[in-house]
Amino acid sequence: MMADKFLIALTQIEGLGPVTLKKLLDLFGSAEAVFRASVFDLREKGVPLKIIELLRDRERLNPDTLVQEIKNEGIETIGFNDLAYPLLLKEIYAPPLVLYWRGNPGFFNKKPVLAAVGSRKISAYAKWVMPEILDSVIKSGVVIVSGLAWGVDGLAHELTLKNNGLAIGVLGSGLAWDNFFPLSNLKLAQEILEKGGLLISEFPPLVPAQPFNFPRRNRIIAGLSEAVLVVEASQKSGALITAACALNENREVMAVPQNVNGANAAGVNRLIKEGARVVTQATDILEFFNIVQAPANPQVQTAAPVSLLAEEKSVYQALSLAPLHIDKIAENCRLEAALVNAVLVKLEVKGLAQNIGNQNYIKL
């Protein structure tokens, strides 16, 4: 599958964005007509001088050469007007007019689709809560989209593969293997393809990762999805850009609540304040997609088991899904820290609590 070679060339003109290019295509009727239009033709159609100057870049572009370079990398393309182009993505403002892809194009329009995004500096809490929430979602047939970055993105893809799910990775670089970013997730990307998944980029194969590429990538992640789940995010996290894109395109935004003192809490908790759907278990997501299925993992107990001793019940009830430091737990249940420490050991043995590091505990 290969998009129109003239459209591929036009999308590689620096400064010519998808909105402007779409207007030119509508004005001239085809990508070839835009590519071949003379300065006189452009002026006669009322094209602004600034755009005419940008279009001078056509002189350095050979459409046939570009297509051959793409084929040499084993990459395929799809154009905005192709029937297989993702319908959800087509609905957004400024959709990419050309997508580069590897893998299974049958995913382009498969539903339901959930984006799972979050911090690159993943916390121990996120490592624990993501499988608790996503395993059942993935097993229910929900396609998982993420950005193949470090941290939450990478774990979302790993969980998808582990549960034999359907994975789509969206890159902020070109799809040439020599340019892949981040290199540490190259093996993960190749495993996505081996297991029938899909890799997508808006960028030509040899484009390296640049900071300004990632907001563009994030709009594609949101655009491909019916809902975006933010697992954790600081105030400046790129995951919040994805959430903002989702809101702008009338997609559902979901968020996993965090410990208010956590480094990756501020952004996600702000989303919840602003009305994001709170997700604490798989059924919160499955209900949105109208999937009636019991989660694979049992729901977390909210009441203390009756077999616990008084101080064990007190400590257990002071715990939550969000990590709490032992000092905070002691404060909450009004017991000495030494006693709380001993009780927590007993609760761990009973499978009711977990030490996730640095004396932080969560309820199981």
Domain containing residue 338: 310-363
Q: Write the single-letter amino acid at 275.
A: G
Ordered per-residue pLDDT tens for the chain, 364 residues: 788 999 999 999 999 999 999 999 999 999 999 999 999 999 999 999 999 999 999 999 999 999 999 999 999 999 999 999 999 999 999 999 999 999 998 889 889 999 999 999 998 889 999 999 999 999 999 999 999 999 999 999 999 999 999 999 999 999 999 989 999 999 999 999 999 999 999 999 999 999 999 999 999 999 999 999 999 988 888 888 999 999 999 999 999 998 777 777 889 989 999 999 999 999 999 999 999 764 444 444 445 665 788 888 888 888 877 678 888 888 888 888 888 888 888 888 888 888 877 788 888 7
- State whether 256 and 114 are in the same domain: yes
Q: Is residue 74 part of a domain?
A: no
Q: What is the CATH number of the domain that holds 116?
A: 3.40.50.450
Structurally, the chain folds into a number of domains equal to 3
- State whether 24 and 160 are in the same domain: no
Residue 304: predicted pLDDT? 61
- State whether 151 and 264 are in the same domain: yes
Q: Last residue of some domain: 12, 35, 65? A: 65
- State whether 148 and 17 are in the same domain: no
- State whether 5 and 153 are in the same domain: no
- CB neighbours of 178 closer than 8 A, spacing ≥ 6? 206
Q: Supply φ then ψ for residue 47, to 5 degrees.
A: -70, 130
- State whether 114 and 57 are in the same domain: no
Residue 345: predicted pLDDT? 87
Q: What is the CATH number of the domain that holds 326?
A: 1.10.10.10
- State whether 243 and 164 are in the same domain: yes
Q: Is residue 196 part of a domain?
A: yes
Closest CA to 356 of 119, 125, 151: 125
- State whether 139 and 190 are in the same domain: yes
- CB neighbours of 286 closer than 8 A, spacing ≥ 6? 136, 137, 140, 142, 292, 293, 295
Q: Is residue 80 part of a domain?
A: no
- State whether 250 and 143 are in the same domain: yes
The three state secondary structure string of the chain is: CCCCHHHHHHCCCCCCCHHHHHHHHHHHCCHHHHHHCCHHHHHHCCCCHHHHHHHHHHHHCCHHHHHHHHHHCCCEEEECCCCCCCHHHHCCCCCCCEEEEEECHHHCCCCCEEEEECCCCCCHHHHHHHHHHHHHHHHCCCEEEECCCCCHHHHHHHHHHHCCCCEEEECCCCCCHHHCCCHHHHHHHHHHHHCCCEEEECCCCCCCCCCCHHHHHHHHHHHHCCEEEECCCCCCCHHHHHHHHHHHCCCEEEECCCCCCCCCCHHHHHHHHCCCEECCCHHHHHHHCCCCCCCCCCCCCCCCCCCCCHHHHHHHHHCCCCCEEHHHHHHHHCCCHHHHHHHHHHHHHCCCEEEEECCEEEEC
- State whether 246 and 165 are in the same domain: yes
- State whether 268 and 317 are in the same domain: no
Q: What is the reported pTM?
A: 0.80
What letters, b where the CB count within 10 A reaches 16 and e where it falls short, cover 347-356? beeeebbbbe
- State whether 249 and 323 are in the same domain: no
